[in-house]
């Protein structure tokens, strides 16, 4: 009998629509057989939390997140909250979750489903069969470094400061995550930084090099400047297996990688903390795409990245490899059948709504267990 407590945070915009489809899949698992149970609680985050409580996430919701086995997160933000104070802006809820749960390791796989190779903005031969993983440091760097402020200089000028800051242990632990994961895949790690202009890049390079030398003789390590990495991602993406990089470069590079797969609507992610004595790690699962306010409420959103994020929860939090494989297989089958949401639509395929896509994936799950 396995029971997992999930905190569901749909957030804003298309977050609420795509989460409906994940909730249906969770219910489906709950109905399957009584050895696996998900207990779900739902709460607000982002702009919707601001509207209800004046903050991007309440302390009560944070309490629930800290207690849950995993947080399933939709998306936050939208023009409605453009004028909200910086502290209460929707993204602050997401950043507090990452920081307070200690989710330093963000795993962003970019897999190009063969059925979608033509939706990529790159040529089919460049992306078909692509299977890479970006390991992004998520609780440090310029996102959180202090000082972080705007000072009025009093002469009509202001000065803005963000601080890119890394300590050895932060680089050490994310490098180990990357090397460990590479060991289960293609045994190749590219470490991306800007050591040619940034001190944090110099330290990053040094720490990754040392960890590699000491502990991972069987993994191949390549250092790459982050700008060159961006260029190589669009020139020849299949040269990569695992890319490990800091918070900001990881944010940018993972958007590039997402587009290689056909659509930002396809990319899931897992954010993991350190394992405790019992081997459990705090975790949050979220699609890489945002809240897409322009298409929200129209049934146009692609729920696949959200559903694939839940599959990552099955894999990493629940250790349910077969179930995770099954959800991923159901997604691949539905794409093979030619069903497409608008973002991945191609001529000759059938355009479906968010909920049609969810239903099709559920039907596939039914077939796969039959």
Closest separation between CB of residue 244 and ligand IPM, Å?
Answer: 16
- Residues 250 to 289 in contact with Mg ion, rule: CB under 5 A: 251
- Residues 288 to 317 in contact with ligand IPM, rule: CB under 6 A: 288, 290
**94: partner contacted, choices Mg ion, ligand IPM, none (Cβ within 5-8 A by kind):** ligand IPM
Closest separation between CB of residue 142 and Mg ion, Å?
Answer: 13
Closest separation between CB of residue 143 and ligand IPM, Å?
Answer: 7
Closest separation between CB of residue 291 and ligand IPM, Å?
Answer: 8
Using alpha carbons only, give the angle 354, 307, 179 rounded to the nearest 5 degrees: 145
Q: Classify the C-alpha dihedral 216-166-68-134 as positive or negative.
A: negative
For ligand IPM, give the closer residue by CB, 94 or 226.
94
Terminus-to-terminus CA distance in the chain, angstroms?
Answer: 22
> Of residues 24, 53, 55, 91, which one binds ligand IPM by CB under 6 A?
91
Question: What is the rounded distance in angstroms from the CA atom of residue 327 to the CA atom of residue 361?
Answer: 8
For Mg ion, give the closer residue by CB, 11 or 358.
11
- Residues 321 to 350 in contact with ligand IPM, rule: CB under 6 A: none
Q: Interface with ligand IPM includes 94 (CB under 6 A)?
A: yes
Closest separation between CB of residue 344 and ligand IPM, Å?
Answer: 20
How far apart, in Å, are the Cα atoms of 284 and each of 63, 197, 346, 359? 14, 33, 32, 24
User: Is residue 116 a contact partner of residue 262, using CB atoms and an 8 Å limit?
Assistant: yes
Question: What is the rounded distance in angstroms from the CA atom of residue 40 to the CA atom of residue 27?
Answer: 10
Strand, helix or coil for residue 251: helix
Q: Which two tokens stand for residue 347?
A: 């001529």
Q: Interface with Mg ion includes 323 (CB under 5 A)?
A: no
For ligand IPM, give the closer residue by CB, 28 or 144.
144
Q: Interface with Mg ion includes 328 (CB under 5 A)?
A: no
Helix (H) or strand (E) holding 134: strand 131-137
Of residues 255, 275, 280, 276, the one with CA closest to residue 265: 255
Residue 151's Cβ-count burial label (10 Å; 0-12, 13-18, 19+) is: exposed
Question: What is the rounded distance in angstroms from the CA atom of residue 56 to the CA atom of residue 95?
Answer: 10
List residues bridging with 9 in a β-sheet.
73
- Residues 154 to 213 in contact with ligand IPM, rule: CB under 6 A: none
For Mg ion, give the closer residue by CB, 12 or 251.
251
For ligand IPM, give the closer residue by CB, 40 or 252.
252
Q: Are strands 339-340 and 281-287 parallel, antiparallel or unpaired?
A: unpaired
For Mg ion, give the closer residue by CB, 91 or 356.
91
Residue 242's Cβ-count burial label (10 Å; 0-12, 13-18, 19+) is: buried
Binding mask 241-280 for ligand IPM (x = CB under 6 A): ----------x-----------------------------
Q: Interface with ligand IPM includes 72 (CB under 6 A)?
A: no
The set of catalytic residues is 143, 194, 227, 251, 255
Stretch that binds Mg ion, among 27-35, 64-72, 121-129, 246-254 (CB under 5 A): 246-254
Q: Using CB under 5 A, list all residues that contact Mg ion.
A: 251
Q: Using CB under 6 A, list all residues that contact ligand IPM.
A: 91, 94, 251, 288, 290
């Amino acid at each position: 009998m396995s029971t997992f407590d999930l905190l569901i945070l749909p957030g804003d915009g298309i977050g609420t629509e795509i989460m409906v489809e994940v909730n249906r899949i969770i219910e489906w698992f709950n109905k399957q057989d009584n050895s696996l149970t998900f207990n779900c609680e739902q709460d607000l985050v982002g702009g919707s939390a601001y509207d209800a409580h004046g903050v991007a996430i309440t302390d009560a919701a944070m309490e629930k997140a800290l207690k849950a086995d995993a947080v399933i997160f939709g998306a936050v933000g939208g023009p409605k909250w453009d004028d909200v104070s910086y502290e209460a802006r929707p993204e602050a809820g997401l950043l507090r979750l990452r920081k307070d749960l200690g989710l330093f390791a963000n795993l962003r796989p970019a897999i190009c489903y063969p059925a979608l190779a033509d939706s990529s903005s790159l040529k089919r031969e460049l992306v078909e069969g692509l299977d890479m993983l970006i390991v992004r440091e998520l609780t440090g760097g310029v996102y959180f470094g202090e000082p972080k402020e705007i000072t009025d200089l009093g002469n009509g000028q202001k000065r803005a400061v963000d601080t890119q800051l890394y300590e050895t242990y932060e680089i050490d632990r994310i490098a180990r995550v990357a090397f460990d994961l590479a060991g289960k895949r293609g045994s190749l790690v590219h470490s991306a930084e800007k050591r040619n202009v940034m001190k944090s890049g110099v330290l990053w390079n040094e720490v990754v090099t040392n960890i590699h030398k000491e502990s991972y003789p069987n993994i191949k390590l390549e250092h790459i400047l982050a700008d060159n990495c961006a260029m190589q991602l669009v020139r020849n993406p299949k040269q990569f297996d695992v890319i490990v990089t800091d918070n900001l470069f990881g944010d940018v590079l993972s958007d590039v990688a997402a587009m290689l797969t056909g659509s930002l609507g396809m990319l899931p992610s897992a954010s993991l903390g350190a394992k405790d004595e019992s081997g459990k790690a705090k975790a949050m699962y979220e699609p890489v795409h945002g809240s897409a306010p322009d298409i929200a409420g129209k049934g146009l959103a692609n729920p696949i990245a959200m559903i694939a994020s839940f599959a990552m929860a099955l894999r990493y939090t629940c250790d349910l490899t077969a179930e995770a494989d099954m959800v991923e297989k159901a997604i691949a089958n539905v794409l093979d059948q030619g069903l497409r949401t608008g973002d991945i639509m191609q001529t000759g395929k059938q355009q479906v709504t968010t909920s049609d896509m969810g239903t099709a994936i559920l039907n596939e799950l039914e077939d796969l267990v039959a």
